[in-house]
Structure 1
Amino acid sequence: MDWWQILLAGVPSLFSGILLYEWEQQRKRIKEQENEKEVRNEALVKGVQALLRDRLITGMETCLEKGYAPINTVEIMGSMYAAYCDLGGNGIVSGIYKRFSSLPHKLPDDV
Structure 2
Amino acid sequence: MAQKISLTQILRQKDSIESRQKKINEKQKKLDEDLKNKTIDETIAEQKTEEIAGLIIIQSGQEAFLTLLQSEKDSKIKRLDSNKNAIHDHDESAGNLANTTHHHQYDAHKK
Length-normalised TM-score, structure 2:
0.53
- Equivalent residues in 2 for 1:43-82 (5 A)? 43-65=80-102
**2:62 aligns to what SS in structure 1?**
helix
| Structure possessing the higher relative contact order (Cα contacts under 8 Å, 6 or more residues apart) | 2
1:75 alignment counterpart: none
Where in structure 1 are there 5+ consecutive unaligned residues?
67-111
**Count of residue pairs the alignment pairs up:** 64
Distance 1:52 1:9 in 2: 64
- Equivalent residues in 2 for 1:5-44 (5 A)? 5-44=42-81
Name the % identity: 6
RMSD: 1.5
Shift of residue 65, structure 1, vs aligned partner: 2.8
Length-normalised TM-score, structure 1:
0.53
Distance 2:94 2:41 in 1: 79
